Amino acid sequence: MDARLERILPQVQKPARYTGGEYREVIKDRAEVDIRMAFCFPDTYEIGMSNLGLQILYGAINAQEGMWCERCFAPWGDMEEQMRREKLPLYALESGDPLTEFDALGFSLGYEMAYTSVLNMLDLAGIPVRSADRRSLTPLVFAGGTSCINPEPMADFLDLCAIGEGEELDVEILKLLRRAKKEGWDKPRFLQNAAKIPGVYVPSLYTPVYNGDGTLARVDAAQGAPEKVTKRIIEDLDRAFYPTHAIVPSTEIVHDRVVLELFRGCVRGCRFCQAGFAYRPVRRHSTQFLLEKARAALEDSGYEEITLSSLSTSDFKGLPELADGLLEWCEPRKISLSLPSLRADNFSMGLMERVQKVRKSGLTFAPEAGSQRLRDVINKNVTEEALLNSCRIAFEGGWNNLKLYFMLGLPTETDEDVTAIARLAEKVLHTWREYAVNKARGVRITVSTSMFVPKPHTPFEWEAQVSIDEYLRRVKLLRESITSKSITYNWHEPHVSLIEAALSRGDRRVGAVIERVWRSGGKLDSWTDYFSMERWLEAFSACGLDPGFYALRTRGEDELFPWDVIDVGVEKRYLARERGEAYAGRVTPDCRARCMGCGANRLLERRGCDE
Amino acid sequence: MNRILFAKEGRAVYISHLDLMRTMQRAFIRAGVKIRHTEGFNPHPYMNFALPLGLGMESRCELMEFSLIEPDGPEELPARLNAVLPEGIRVLRAYESDLKFKYIKWLDMEAHLFYYNEAHPAAAIETFFSAPALVIEKKTKRQTANVDIKPLIASLKAADAAKGEVLVSARIAAQDPGLSPPQLISALEQLDSALKPDFVRFKRLEVFDKDMAVFR
């Protein structure tokens, strides 16, 4: 171990985050490796190690001969301070080697508030943050992940973006890099060739041109670069890499259990949900495959808990068989099974009963909006009747702690819709009074609201976010409408949501704001410990930009968006149609009831959606 | 009761005591070794560690107690566990014993003291610890007390190991009352700041009963 690291570890909180050495960490012989990648996660170890994408890509890349993928996370403030004092550059956990020795740094961009940490990690490694300032071929700095479906705010910092699912794409990029190294290509030559790989977006090959009003006039693509970059997907999930030999952290992380991914995409089409559109088309694992992999992952890890993960787990077609098969195996081994994100409409009590025998602590439903009218607008196909029915079953089953999630500031929302949240919570409470089996224990109903953030590649990508003042007015209205002492109301701070909205629909000019925020000390912005609204507002203003232009402005119907260069499958004309349906208050049936032709099936070559 | 003697070295020294319990629990499952669970509302595997080791400290003499459900084949235990333990945790021996951990009285430790100004105060350190009494401040969660640690030191040697590096080897009281290796070295800082090292690396070597016989 580096002597500087040994000196500082006793002085930082939770040092096991910074050492590596966990079970199933991959160590390779440097002599047999010609491509070294660091998978960089711009958040803490506990968050990053809970990310299934990290475990998948780590395994998929390390399965390649001659390639060694290591991990690197953002240090917490105390560690960063010590590292800067000791002049210890940011290193990868497996080898302890500084990031400058790597051929490629692949950042996982899952959420916008991680952007400043990307810059901070590059700087901690002693690497220039701007792509243009990095002249040599390596280390190549690229990124993937959900946020890359609008790559523009980070365009100045990244050499390339891998759009879509990375299992195959990342390996193709690294293979090209291997060839480039061997043949002595310079960086421009490599990037020109990389742009030919389907799913690769090379920001430096595209030049945005703006109108006088700040909107985008056009984007000039350099010769050889595709007009649009189409998202990559894995068509047959059962044939892709599955992480049954995942790293088992030696210190506690956020999701400390086996995560079993059932399917990708979602059949529902909730109009506010970016993942619901961006991850289409729907593709599933076979039940048999999942049963085998679940057992293998549990046996290999020693975990005593497994959770089923997908956008809408209860929509998995083989769920009863899968749950039966898993429980049959898990119960005698005292392994617990949890089912997150259940929909309130097809909530199956029998299943819940069997799954959570001991813990009846909490149950969460997300109606998202209080009135049926607004739920129809956002296409959250849950009726009040269905929700109350699910609550009745839960209360009869002994639950007495229920959480309800809502968003404030959804398009077309009126005060009537806001107070409807309070009325709905009252009805849930009434249901408890009528059906609870153990009333003596009391009931706790928690209502939470967050501020709606319009996202790219959704039917609401044209929409304005409400202002912070307006959000707080609605919070006050709702708070005053809730009278029962059994109902608790929590609301999320709106400031981060405003910045998130500005970043998620930002253009390339926003990169300067991100850099300025970082230069004035910004990092780990998803943590209240570090987020500073003043810092962001100051940076926007210093860069001559207005966060309101990005967050609070209703876009023109025909406006060209910075993220239109990315084709995620679902077409813009379909999103526009869905937006029209939202304003008409009309719901769209789920994909299984009827295909509405969103366009995502174009990404499939051999099979149909959801097969 | 079944017991293992294991070492905790290298990067594993930064695994905290609480995390070590989780790590061991998972390793037993991975190895397919079934152990008894505690009774009660929230059963968990019964595992008892002797003298929880401080974070960052190396050890060659960690003891953990548990109860095998299928008592056949404990001799294969070290190999089976070592195949599935994280780097740095190594089972040296598996055996049976009913000696209670409370009979551990003394432990052997080493401390590597580093002086960045390249001092070599080994002789001075030995002299320092040969004083008839060494009263230091011991902080507990609730209060600070003055304690004479001299009776808690059975023996101590110091030798210059390299330029600016002194090796202190000592046998100190393990518990009731015990002296932790960092407390031992903190006496230098408290009573003679000239001898205060810039960095210390600790290692636990062996545990003993009241008669100075190796404890297992």
pLDDT above 90 as % of chain B = 80
What average pLDDT does the segment A83-110 reach? 97
A23 pLDDT band, cuts 50/70/90, is: very high
CA distance A89 to chain B (A): 19
Q: What is the mean pLDDT of chain B?
A: 93
**B66 pLDDT higher than 90:** yes
Q: Are A302 and B37 an interchain contact pair (Cβ–Cβ within 8 Å)?
A: no
Task: Decide: B68 and B2 in contact? Cβ < 8 Å.
Answer: yes
Establish whether the linkage from the previous residue to A198 is cis, with ω within 30° of 0: no
Contacts of residue A484, Cβ cutoff 8 Å, sequence gap at least 6: A425, A426, A429
Residue B128 within a domain: yes
Q: Which residue of A has its CA nearest to B32?
A: A299
- Predicted confidence (pLDDT) per residue in A335-345, tens digit: 888 876 566 65
Pick the CATH number of A3-208 from 3.30.70.890, 3.30.300.30, 3.40.190.10, 3.40.50.280: 3.40.50.280
Instruction: Tell which of B42, B73, B98 closes a domain.
Output: B98
Cβ burial of B192 (10 Å; 0-12, 13-18, 19+) is middle
Highest mean pLDDT among A373-387, A437-451, A462-476, B175-189: A462-476
Q: What per-residue confidence (pLDDT) applies to A363? A: 80
CA distance B10 to chain A (A): 8
Tell me the domain boundaries of chain A: 3-208, 257-492+569-600
**Dihedral sign computed on CA atoms, order A413, A414, A415, A416:** negative
pLDDT above 90 as % of chain A = 86
Task: Decide: B81 and B91 in contact? Cβ < 8 Å.
Answer: yes
Tell me, yes or no, whether B107 and B167 share the same domain.
yes
Tell me, yes or no, whether B86 and B110 share the same domain.
no
Task: Decide: B90 and B6 in contact? Cβ < 8 Å.
Answer: yes
Tell me, yes or no, whether B93 and B109 share the same domain.
no
Q: Are A23 and B27 an interchain contact pair (Cβ–Cβ within 8 Å)?
A: yes
3-class SS at A103?
Answer: coil
Token output for A260: 């079993």
Q: Which of A399, A404, A385 is nearest to A352 (CA)?
A: A399
Residue A601: half-sphere exposure toward Cβ, Cα within 13 Å: 13
Q: Are B56 and A15 an interchain contact pair (Cβ–Cβ within 8 Å)?
A: yes
Tell me, yes or no, whether B34 and B123 share the same domain.
no
3-class SS at A213?
Answer: coil
- Which chain A residues contact residue B28 at CB under 8 A? 302
Q: What per-residue confidence (pLDDT) applies to A358? A: 47
Q: Give ∠ CA A25-A28-A31 in degrees, rounded to 5.
A: 165
Cβ burial of A537 (10 Å; 0-12, 13-18, 19+) is middle
Residue B197 within a domain: yes
Distance CA B210, CA B100 (A): 13
Distance CA A337, CA A294 (A): 11
Contacts of residue B143, Cβ cutoff 8 Å, sequence gap at least 6: none
> Diameter of chain A by CA atoms?
75
Token output for B216: 């297992």
Token output for A594: 């009827």
- Which chain B residues contact residue A20 at CB under 8 A? 11
- Which chain B residues contact residue A18 at CB under 8 A? 14
Q: Which of A448, A477, A467 is nearest to A368 (CA)?
A: A448
Per-residue DSSP letters for A430-471? HHHHHH-S-GGG--EEEEEEEE----TTSTTTTPPPPPHHHH
Q: What per-residue confidence (pLDDT) applies to A359? A: 53
Distance CA A605, CA B10 (A): 50
Distance CA A253, CA A255 (A): 6
Poorest-pLDDT segment among A226-230, A288-292, A333-337, A550-554: A333-337
User: B149: which DSSP letter?
Assistant: -
- Report the relative pairing of strands A401-408 and A444-451 from DSSP bridges: parallel
User: A562: which DSSP letter?
Assistant: G
Tell me, yes or no, whether B71 and B126 share the same domain.
no
List C-alpha distances in Å: A5 to A122, A214, A419.
18, 47, 55
3-class SS at A196?
Answer: coil
- Predicted confidence (pLDDT) per residue in A369-387, tens digit: 999 999 999 999 889 998 9
Given B15, B199, B201, which is nearest A250 (Cβ)? B15
Tell me, yes or no, whether B173 and B86 share the same domain.
no
- Which chain A residues contact residue B85 at CB under 8 A? 23
Q: Torsions phi, psi of A425, nearest 5?
A: -65, -40
Cβ burial of B194 (10 Å; 0-12, 13-18, 19+) is exposed
- Which chain A residues contact residue B21 at CB under 8 A? none
> Diameter of chain B by CA atoms?
57
pLDDT above 70 as % of chain A = 96
**B216 pLDDT higher than 80:** yes
For chain A, list residues whose CB is within 8 angstroms of any CB belonging to chain B: 1, 6-7, 9-10, 14-16, 18-23, 25, 248, 250-252, 299-304, 334
Number of domains in chain B: 2
CA distance A358 to chain B (A): 9
Q: Which residue of B has its CA nearest to A15?
A: B14
- Chains A and B form CB pairs within 8 A to the count of 69
Q: Which of A471, A370, A474 is nearest to A417 (CA)?
A: A370
Q: Are B56 and A1 an interchain contact pair (Cβ–Cβ within 8 Å)?
A: no
B71 pLDDT band, cuts 50/70/90, is: confident
Q: Are B30 and A301 an interchain contact pair (Cβ–Cβ within 8 Å)?
A: yes
Say what angle helices A166-183 and A52-62 make with each other, to 10 degrees: 40
CA distance A9 to chain B (A): 8
Query: What CATH number is associated with residue B32?
Result: 3.30.70.580
Q: Which residue of A has its CA nearest to B55?
A: A10
Given A19, A252, A299, which is nearest B11 (Cβ)? A19
Q: Which of A243, A275, A274, A237 is nearest to A259 (CA)?
A: A243
Contacts of residue B108, Cβ cutoff 8 Å, sequence gap at least 6: B169, B170, B171, B204, B205, B206, B207, B208
In A285-371, alpha helices (H)? 287-301, 319-330, 349-355
Distance CA A528, CA A138 (A): 35
Q: What per-residue confidence (pLDDT) applies to B193? A: 86
**Dihedral sign computed on CA atoms, order A421, A425, A426, A428:** positive
Is the complex ipTM more than 0.90? yes
* Length in residues, chain B: 216
In chain B the first and final C-alpha atoms are separated, in Å, by 12
Q: What is the enclosing helix (H) or strand (E) of A83? A: helix A77-86
Tell me, yes or no, whether B157 and B190 share the same domain.
yes
Which residue bears the tokens 């899968």?
Answer: A322
Question: Hey, what's the torsion of the CAs at A556, A557, A561, A565, to 10 degrees?
Answer: -160
Q: What is the enclosing helix (H) or strand (E) of A499? A: helix A494-504
Mutation target for B interface from A9, A247, A250, A252: give the one with most B CBs within 10 A: A250
Strand blocks (E) in A95-157: 104-108, 140-144
**B140 pLDDT higher than 90:** no
Token output for B215: 């404890």
Q: Cβ of B82 under 8 Å from any chain A Cβ?
A: no
Q: Are A252 and B19 an interchain contact pair (Cβ–Cβ within 8 Å)?
A: yes
**A360 pLDDT higher than 60:** no
What average pLDDT does the segment A57-66 reach? 98
Q: Which residues of A270-291 are buried (b: 16+ CB within 10 A; e: fewer)?
A: bbbbbbbbbbbbbbbbebeebb
Instruction: Tell which of B81, B98, B115 closes a domain.
Output: B98
Tell me, yes or no, whether B94 and B178 share the same domain.
no
Residue B216 within a domain: no
* Length in residues, chain A: 611
Say what angle helices A510-519 and A533-542 make with each other, to 10 degrees: 130
- Predicted confidence (pLDDT) per residue in A597-606, tens digit: 999 999 999 9
Q: Cβ of B196 under 8 Å from any chain A Cβ?
A: no
Token output for A338: 């949890």
Q: Cβ of B25 under 8 Å from any chain A Cβ?
A: yes
Tell me, yes or no, whether B90 and B110 share the same domain.
no
CA distance A110 to chain B (A): 28
Q: Which residue of B has its CA nearest to A94?
A: B11
Given B18, B55, B84, which is nearest A23 (Cβ)? B84
Q: Are A25 and B87 an interchain contact pair (Cβ–Cβ within 8 Å)?
A: yes
Query: Cα B157 vs. chain centroid, distance in angstroms?
Result: 18
Query: What CATH number is associated with residue B164?
Result: 3.30.70
Q: Which of A139, A170, A115, A10 is nearest to A522 (CA)?
A: A115
Q: Torsions phi, psi of A437, nearest 5?
A: -90, -25
Instruction: Tell which of B98, B123, B149 closes a domain.
Output: B98
3-class SS at A506?
Answer: coil
- Predicted confidence (pLDDT) per residue in A237-283, tens digit: 999 999 999 999 999 999 999 999 999 999 999 999 999 999 999 99
- Predicted confidence (pLDDT) per residue in A404-419, tens digit: 999 999 999 999 999 9
Tell me, yes or no, whether B78 and B153 share the same domain.
no
Poorest-pLDDT segment among A73-82, A189-198, A321-330, B89-98: A321-330
Tell me, yes or no, whether B90 and B117 share the same domain.
no
Tell me, yes or no, whether B34 and B86 share the same domain.
yes
What average pLDDT does the segment A125-136 reach? 98
Range of the domain at B147: 103-208
Token output for B137: 């401040």
CA distance B209 to chain A (A): 30
- Which chain B residues contact residue A7 at CB under 8 A? 199
Pick the CATH number of A257-492+569-600 from 3.40.50.720, 3.80.30.20, 2.40.10.480, 3.30.479.30: 3.80.30.20
